Amino acid sequence: MAKQTPVQDDSPGIERFETLPRKILTVWLPLFVFCFVLLFPFYWMAITSVKPNHQLTNYRDYSPFWVVQPTLDHIRYLLFETSYPRWLWNTIIVAVASTFISLLASVFAAYAIERLRFRGSRVTGLLIFLAYLVPPSILFIPLAFIVYQVGIFDSRLALILTYPTFLIPFCTWLLMGYFRSIPYELEESALVDGATRWQILTRIVLPLAVPGLISAGIFAFTLSWNEFIYALTFISSSENKTIPVGVLTELVRGDIYEWGALMSGALLGSLPVVILYSFFVDYYVSSMTGAVKE
């Protein structure tokens, strides 16, 4: 029997990254810079929220990057002497309700554009996405007039009904890309078997599009949670404010900035979104991959 010689590939591959200096320069150094830029704001908020007041600006005797004798006075003041719990509850209600409305409308719109095959579907999808590119700073003035005329000014309903105006376009575009990655033969087989469009949507398409739904939901929830312009324009009373507006308007009095309470509010307000991303990050990545498939 002829002796087989092993095939050798001398072309440069991943082994060129295995030398220690090259690995430090191409992998570890960029990763360290990325993590530092990403995590340093959270570290700064955390140490500022537990710093006593006399350490906040006294950089001669205390390091700005470390805390001596930490205190919980700022967090206690934020939770028990301000309306922060009420702002948190308002933000949760507005974010959850607007996310639900946006997902419901986006599913129907994306399915109709991608799967029903009507004339002008591509143009319709493009126009829906272009609507997302309109800056909110242009729309909040006419929307404020409509909100006032309808009679829902200074209420959570004003935010719940206006947030979908910028959530639905992007969620629809994202779900369109994900629906496009689902084989159409599945729907054709179901139609042959006598299934209706509603049955196809609820029993075939949506179960397969769960990663896309989770990704669109995370996106909509995050934007609703952090939105500032509409919440500042449509809400005036303190008890109806959301966290981004309440923290800025109630904890800044003239030229007096309550930095400890401000950083505590910002840190506590960012934790729900961080926890949400940590639980569904795999679904988010897979859905974004499916959204760009052709």
**CATH label of the domain that carries residue 143:** 1.10.3720.10
Determine, yes or no, domain membership for 276. yes
Determine, yes or no, domain membership for 39. no
Determine, yes or no, domain membership for 21. no
Determine, yes or no, domain membership for 183. yes
Please state the length of the chain: 294
Q: How many domains is the chain partitioned into structurally?
A: 1
Q: In degrees, to the nearest 5, what angle opens at C-alpha 222 toward C-alphas 216 and 224?
A: 100
For the question of whether the overall pTM of this predicted structure is more than 0.85, the answer is: no
Domain coverage including residue 281:
76-291
**pLDDT-above-70 percentage for the chain:** 89
Determine, yes or no, domain membership for 170. yes
Which stretches does DSSP call E strand in the chain?
252-253, 256-257
Determine, yes or no, domain membership for 23. no
Question: Phi then psi for 32, rounded to 5 degrees?
Answer: -65, -45
Determine, yes or no, domain membership for 41. no
The 10 Å CB-count burial string (b at 16+, else e) for 173-212 is bbbbbbbbbbeeeebeebeeeeeeeeebbeebbeeebebb
Determine, yes or no, domain membership for 248. yes
Span 64-80, average pLDDT: 87
What is the DSSP secondary-structure string of 186-232? HHHHHHHTT--HHHHIIIIIHHHTHHHHHHHHHHHHHHHHH--HHHH
The confidence score (pLDDT) of residue 6 equals 56
The confidence score (pLDDT) of residue 294 equals 41
Given pLDDT bands bounded at 50, 70 and 90, which one contains residue 17? low
Given pLDDT bands bounded at 50, 70 and 90, which one contains residue 291? very low
